[in-house]
Chain A
C-alpha cells in the first residue's frame, strides 16, 4: 500500500489552470489599460471575430476583456467569502471539537439548523437588510458558508483529539491552546483544503446567482453573474453575450470541483494506515496429497490473488462424513479459501490457478448460471459475521425460505413448515416469532443459529462453517457444535474454520494448519495437535490459553487426553 503524497494528475491540471486564470484576471485588464472596455456604440453587439474573440456587448465593450475584469469581482468575493467562512468555521469547529460535551451539543444543534436550510435564502435575508454590494455579499455568504466549515473542522478535531500523538503531548503538559494550534491545526488544514476548493466553487455559483438576480453587486460594477444579468435582454439578438460569461463560470467551478475531489483523495490517503507488514519468511508448504477419488471437496493447488498473492497453491480435501478443521491466525487465508470454494470471492480477489472439485463435479466447467445453482444446492455456507451476512430489512424467515425453495419445495405452506423445522433444529424457541423478526431484533447467538439454519436449508452435501462459534457464549456454541456433529453423522462433509484449537480438537477428524496463505501442516487431529511437526503449529498451540494452562508449552509433548 503506497501513500499518496502528490495530487492526482487531474487535480494538478486543475490547479495549474486555475492559477493561469487567476493570473489572466489580474494582468489582462492592466495590460489592456481599459481600451477595450470603453463604451463605443459603433462596436455594439458584434459577433465573435479576430478583433473581439468573444464578441462585444450592448455598449460595444470586448466581452473577453470584460470577463477577465469581471473575474476580479467574482473571484475576490468568493475568496473573501471562503476566508470569512473558514475562519468563523475554524473557531466554532475547534471549540466544538476540542471541548466536546455541552459546548459541542449547543453549537452543533445551531449548526445543523443552519445547514438544513437553503443557504441562498439566508443570504437574501441579509441582503434585504444590508443591500447589495461587494462587502455585503462577502458578509452574507461568509456566514452561510460557516456551518459546513465548522463541521469539517469539528470532525477533524474529534479525530485528532484522541490520536496517540496528541494525547502524548497533553500528558507532557502542553496547554490546550498549544495543543490546538501547534499539534492539531496543521493536520486539520490538510482536511480543510478540499473543503476550501469545493467551497470556492459553491461561492462562485452563489455570487453568480445573486448577481444574476440583480441582488448582488451593483450595476456599476462587473462580475460574471452580473454580465449574464445584462445579457438576458439580448439572448436572441446576441447569444454570445450570454454564452461566454456562463461558460467561464462552468469552467472555473468545474476546475475547483476537480481540485477539491483530488484534495479529498490526498486527504484520505494521508490518514490511511501505514504499510502492511510483509510476511517474514515464506513458510514451507505441506506436501501435496492427492485427494481420495471419492472426496466430497477437493482443492488442488489453489492460488488466490488480490494485488499480490494471498493464497499460494494450497491443496485440501474433505470427505463425506468428515470434519476438517482449518486453523491459523487471522489473515492467513482461511476465509478466502472457503469463499473461493463457494465462488463468492470479494471484488478484487481472483483465482490465479488450481482446481476445485465438489461432489465429483468441477463447477468451473458449468455455465455461470448452472454453477450458481449447483454450488447453492451442494454447498451450505455458515458465514462468520451473522449481523452483516443477513439482509437487515428482510424477516429472517423469508431469508431462510429462499434457500428452502432451492430444494424444489414450491408450496408456501410446506416452505413455512420447513423454515420452522430448521429454526427448531438449531434450538431457537418460539420459531414463529423468530421467523418474523428482522436480524437486528435478534441477539447475536440467535442470529448465528439463524445463519446455520440457512446453511442447512438447501440440504447441502458440504458445509463451510467460518468461525461459527466465535461470537457465541459457551452454551450457544455447544448447540451449534452439536448440530454440526449431527450433520457429520448424516454423511455431510464439513470444512470448519476456527482459531480456537480447543473446539477444533473436540470436533474435527483432521486438522489443516494455515499460515500466510500456505498449509504448513495437515493430518489427523490427535496427531497434529499432540505431536506437531512444525514450529508454527507448536507456537499456535502454545498461544492458546487453555493449553498453556495444561502445561502444553512450546515443545512440550503430552499424551492425547481429550478434554
Chain B
C-alpha cells in the first residue's frame, strides 16, 4: 500500500456532523435577529420619517390636540428616535409588543389568541401542497416533454395565476351548489372537536394550497428531471438496478433537498396566503387581526403581527437548512454568506 498511505478521507474532523449543525443553527439564529432588526428599523423609519404626524393620522381629522398629545406620549413619540427604537427592542425581549390602540389590550395577548388558527391553516396548506404536488411532480418528470408532463405544467401555471381569494369564492360557490345545507365556513377550535376542526379548515386550506401546489410541481419536477440526467443515475442503471431501486435508493435522497427547500418557501408564502383567506371565510386568525390593524392604523398591533410572522418565516428557513444539512452533508460545510462553491 505504498501510494495510498498518504491519502486521507477528508471532512471527517472531530467536530462531526452535529458540531457543524450547531454552528449552522447559530448562524441562522443570528440571521433571524438581523432580519427582525432590519424590519424593525425599516418600520420605524417608515413610521416616523414619512410626512404627517402619526398620532394625528391614527386618530383621524376630528381629534382634539389634547388627545393627539396624549397618544404621542403613550407611543413615546415625544422622545428621540434611537431611544424609542431601543425601548421597543427592550420590551420586545421581555415579550412585550406594546398595547393595541384599537383593542386597548396587550398586542402579545391578541396575537397569542389567534396564532393557533393561522398556524393550523398554514400546516394544512403545507400538507396539501406536499401530498398533491409531490406525486404530480413525479408523474410529470417521468417523461419530460410528454403529453402528461405538458398537461400538468399547464395546470400548474393556471394554479399560479388564480388568486387564492378568488379560488376561495369559487369553492364557496361550489360547496353551496353541491350541499344545500352549506352555510359558509365556521371555525371550530381543535380542543372542542378535532374532526369538526379539520372539516372547518378544509376549504380554506385548499384555497391556500392551490398556488403552492403549483410551486411544488414546477420546482420539484425541474429538480427531478435534472437528477434523472445525472451521471450517478446512469451509473445505477449500469449496475442493472431496477427502476424502483434506482428511484428509492438513488434519486429520492437527492431529490429530497430541493423538495424540502421548496416546502420552506411554500410555508413562508402560506402565511401571506392565510392572511387573505381568513378574510374571505371570516376566520378569527392573525390575518384578520392584521387587516383590522391596518384598517384602524393600529401601528403597534400591525408591527407586532408582522414581526411574529417574520420570525416564523425565518425559523422555517432555519429548519429547512438544518434538515437539508443532515440529508446532504456537503451543504453543512457551506457557511451561509461565504459563497461556498458546491459541485
Residues of A that sit less than 8 Å from B by CB: 109-110, 113, 116-122, 124-131, 201, 205, 208-209, 212-215, 228, 231-232, 235-236, 239, 242-243, 246, 249-250, 253-254, 257-258, 342, 344, 346-347, 369, 372-373, 375-377, 379, 381, 383, 385, 387-394, 399, 402-403, 406, 424, 427-430, 433-434, 437-438, 440-443, 445-446, 454, 458, 475-476, 479
Contacts and interface: CB of A to CB of B under 8 A. Distances in A.
Interface string B309-327: 1100110010000000001
Given A120-B275, A124-B302, A373-B240, A475 B3 contact: yes
A394 B268 contact: no
A399 B241 CA distance: 11
Interface string B235-247: 1111111100000
B38 interface: yes
B3 A479 contact: yes
B112 interface: no
B9 A437 contact: yes
Contact of B46 (A129, A228, A369, A403): A129
Given A346-B229, A441-B9, A475-B3, A128 B309 contact: no
B268 A376 contact: no
Interface in B32-47: 34-35, 38-39, 42-43, 46-47
Given A118-B271, A209-B165, A372 B3 contact: no
Nearest to B1: A429
A110 to B, nearest CB: 7
Contacts of B161: 201, 205, 250, 253-254, 257
Nearest to A374: B240
B3 A446 contact: no
B261 interface: no
Which of A126, A242, A392 has the most C-beta atoms of chain B within 10 angstroms of its own C-beta?
A392
A141 B299 CA distance: 19
Interface residues of B, number: 81
B70 interface: no
Nearest to A253: B161
Interface of B: 1-5, 7, 9-12, 34-35, 38-39, 42-43, 46-47, 50, 54, 57, 157-158, 160-163, 165-166, 169-170, 172-173, 176, 229-232, 234-242, 249-250, 253-254, 268-269, 271-272, 275-276, 279-280, 290-291, 293-295, 297-299, 302-303, 306, 309-310, 313-314, 317, 327-330, 337, 343
Contacts of A257: 157, 160-161
Contacts of B1: 424, 427, 429
A225 B36 CA distance: 31
A388 B230 contact: yes
Contacts of B57: 129, 131
Contacts of B158: 250, 254
Contacts of A383: 231, 234-235
Given A253-B161, A254-B157, A258-B157, A121 B238 contact: no
Given A369-B242, A377-B240, A479-B3, 20 more contacts: A116-B313, A116-B317, A119-B272, A125-B43, A125-B306, A129-B57, A131-B297, A214-B291, A250-B163, A257-B161, A389-B232, A389-B235, A391-B235, A391-B254, A403-B239, A424-B1, A427-B4, A428-B7, A441-B10, A454-B235
24 contacts: A109-B337, A116-B317, A120-B275, A124-B294, A125-B42, A128-B303, A208-B165, A212-B163, A235-B169, A236-B173, A236-B176, A344-B237, A375-B240, A376-B240, A389-B231, A390-B235, A393-B254, A393-B328, A394-B250, A406-B240, A428-B4, A429-B7, A437-B12, A443-B7
B280 A232 contact: yes
